[in-house]
Amino acid sequence: MDRTGKIAVVTGAGGTLCSAIAEDLAAQGYRVVLVGRTREKLEVTGKSIREKGGTCLILTADVKNLEQMTALREEVRHEFGLCSVLINGAGGNQPDAVTTYNAFDPEELSPENKGRGFFNLDMTRFLDVINVNIMGTVIPCQLFARDMVAAGGGSIVNFASMNTYRPLSKIPAYALSKAGISNFTQWLAAYLAPANIRVNAVAPGFFLNDRSRKMLLDPDSESGYSPRGANIIRQTPMKRFGEARQLLGCVNWLIDDEKADFVTGITVPVDGGFLSDSGL
């Protein structure tokens, strides 16, 4: 397919996975809009794209803020034109929405307890996680799918997670929101099918980034992994963490209007076999 001049909007483009996706799209000829809250991170991605001869536009906004994203969409239309590909990679978690217990312990109800159980999670932070992952996907879809309708079609790729299939311990808000992404992807795929817009999702397994390295690696341990990291490796048949480049093939297939033109409403795990292993 000739992708020259087509416009791809990538939210979360300053992150490890979506920066790689944005750079790959630019290398294919897309004019890429890099969206995120922190311009400094987006500038790193943008510099890499431009050094390789690609074209990009850097715009900052909070993806869960309708007013900011509406203004951003108008700027995209003014500078580049109609969006044909949307990658919804923005999202995240909050420390105060993470439990320090794997399961209920009576001490979490004690006045002296300094840990976090389900019963003393900060509900404001809990809702923040749901908003950034759910509304931070819904709002860009609502806005940029309008452009795709005007253009006669397009493709949306949302970001799900291993939590979409199995809620991992300690992160209930994140798990809840990522399960919702898969359901919303199916709903939107059915809704937008008459407009020739395909909507799918990827569910990355465990990929290393700056934040996860601190949680999953331990250079002082014999294995090099933290206890949680070692559990993940034990459960992953390919016995390694993913690298950003290993997500590109799946994303490129999903947005390809020739090779995936009858594919919509699915969530594809890219997980080294994590979901295939029962642990027994």
- Catalogue the active-site residues: 174
- As beta bridge partners, residue 10 has 34, 87
Q: Residue count of the chain, please give it.
A: 280
- As beta bridge partners, residue 60 has 36
Name which of 263, 257, 253, 251 is nearest 2 in CA terms: 257
d(CA 135, CA 31): 25
Question: Contact at 8 Å (CB) between 35 and 11?
Answer: yes
d(CA 13, CA 36): 6
Distances (CA, A) of 63 to 27, 59, 70, 90: 25, 11, 10, 7
Name which of 58, 61, 23 is nearest 43 in CA terms: 58
- Name the maximum alpha-carbon separation found in the chain: 63
Name which of 34, 30, 32 is nearest 1 in CA terms: 30
